[in-house]
Structure 1
Amino acid sequence: MEEKALQTVEQAKEHFIEKIAENMNTYGISSTVGRVLGIIYMNRKPLTLNELSDATGMSKTRMSQVVREMLDLNIAEKVFEKGVRKDLYDVEQDYYQTFISLFTANWSKVVKKNRMIGKKIRKELLDALEEDSLSPETEEKINDLLEETKKWLDYCQWLDNLIDFLESEDIFKYVPKP
């Protein structure tokens, strides 16, 4: 009887791991990263690269790459445990914090890239506006695009503000955790 209950527990854990892996695609993250996140999360304790390799069937080299990606995304951390010589990796146990970390990590990169492109376009348009003997039509087209660039950069600033809002956890004042 207990064996059946333990099998049910393992199946439920596997379902959670699979759903976490599927959800990662929503954030633009590979399901492999999601699967590893789910495995660590469901084990409720830090795991070594060897343990993660065994759990996923992936090579230790590939697992190292996945864990490095997770560290870069701020969804995993290397932890120290007395008496353990190998590196241990743990994940946030709070779904809400994981969401914030994933959202802000991805959008911060996008905003930085888009802001740089917007500033480059703006500079090029301002340089073009300095040309002598522009027709009124060309000048109007440049000014229209300069206005569009301003809107673009304002949007980037709004996204930055949204990221700050999430990272400050002020979001929970307006959309409380249950």
Structure 2
Amino acid sequence: MQKNEFESISDDLQQSILKSRQRVIESIGKNIDVYGVTLSIGHLYGNMFFRSEPVTLDEMVDTMGLSKTSISTGMRTLTDLKMIHKVWGKGVRKDLYEVESDWYQTFADFFTIKWRKSVEMNIQSLQKSRKEMLALLAAHQEEEAPQKLLTADLAKIESALEYYEWLNRLIDALESGEIFEIVPKTTKI
């Protein structure tokens, strides 16, 4: 809890606010596995979400009651996922972190990072297999059974490559922000 955050708020109201916040923190923790991170890192993000000012690693250690190593690992993971970022603070010698406030951008960044890596790996495998199968097809031109099997497999590979080309275009739309022209950001709930 930040200093003076609840200074002029009654104890009962403080408890109600903290209870509501805790529900959100728990929900984020439970659902952040879609980002491939652990429950504790989700709770770290959830706790940081309610901060109105950047926090240090030590402040989050105190807040969460976890080891400095665990918090540091969590901060690094969240930074790599572009869910939090370092900020500068006048007169502060320690690193300061704050939550990326644009959840739309966080989603776009995360999925472009993960999907791009997956797409590249799968395209390489498909292209290598296509090259090998084309060589086998050429080497067994006179044999009907291998021709039929390899032709069917190559059609499947071509279909998969078309899918990954489409996925690359989707990733490009996320990276460029074009996706928000098709599916606009919601401004009010």
The TM-score with structure 2 as length reference comes to: 0.84
Q: How far apart, CA to CA, are the structure 1 residues paired with 2:126 and 2:175?
A: 25
SS in 2 for 1:77: strand
The amino acid across from 1:85 in the alignment is: R
Evaluate the alpha carbon distance shift between residue 133 and residue 98 of structure 1 in structure 2; reply closer, same or farther with a 3 A threshold: closer
Matched, 1:137 2:145: yes
Q: How far apart, CA to CA, are the structure 1 residues paired with 2:11 and 2:103?
A: 30
Q: Matched residues, percent identical?
A: 37
Matches within 5 A, 1:26-37: 26-37=34-45
CA contact (8 A) 2:24 2:46 kept: yes
The amino acid across from 2:90 in the alignment is: K
Q: Given the alignment, which residue of 3, 28, 50 partners 2:58?
A: 50
Matches within 5 A, 1:86-125: 86-125=94-133
Q: How far apart, CA to CA, are the structure 2 residues paired with 1:126 and 1:93?
A: 50
In structure 2, stretches of 5+ residues that fail to align are 1-8
Evaluate the alpha carbon distance shift between residue 53 and residue 130 of structure 1 in structure 2; reply closer, same or farther with a 3 A threshold: farther
Matched, 1:18 2:26: yes
Q: How far apart, CA to CA, are the structure 2 residues paired with 1:41 and 1:93?
A: 8
In structure 1, stretches of 5+ residues that fail to align are none
Report the alpha carbon displacement of residue 130 of structure 1 after superposing the two structures with TM: 3.2
- 2:182 aligns to what? 174
| Larger relative contact order (Cα-Cα within 8 Å, sequence gap ≥ 6) | 1
CA contact (8 A) 1:49 1:87 kept: yes
Report the alpha carbon displacement of residue 84 of structure 1 after superposing the two structures with TM: 0.8
CA contact (8 A) 1:74 1:105 kept: no
Q: How far apart, CA to CA, are the structure 2 residues paired with 1:29 and 1:105?
A: 14
How many residue pairs match? The answer is 178
Q: How far apart, CA to CA, are the structure 2 residues paired with 1:119 and 1:32?
A: 39
CA contact (8 A) 1:73 1:101 kept: yes
Q: How far apart, CA to CA, are the structure 2 residues paired with 1:46 and 1:163?
A: 30
The amino acid across from 2:72 in the alignment is: S
CA contact (8 A) 2:140 2:147 kept: no
SS in 1 for 2:97: strand
Evaluate the alpha carbon distance shift between residue 160 and residue 59 of structure 1 in structure 2; reply closer, same or farther with a 3 A threshold: same
SS in 1 for 2:136: helix
The amino acid across from 1:9 in the alignment is: I
- 1:41 aligns to what? 49
Evaluate the alpha carbon distance shift between residue 160 and residue 33 of structure 1 in structure 2; reply closer, same or farther with a 3 A threshold: farther
Please tell me the root mean square deviation across aligned C-alpha atoms, in Å: 1.9
CA contact (8 A) 1:46 1:88 kept: yes
The amino acid across from 1:39 in the alignment is: N
Matched, 1:59 2:83: no
Task: Give CA deviations for 1:114-145 in whole Å, capped at 9, x if unaligned.
Answer: 11221222122123223246521111211211
- 2:93 aligns to what? 85
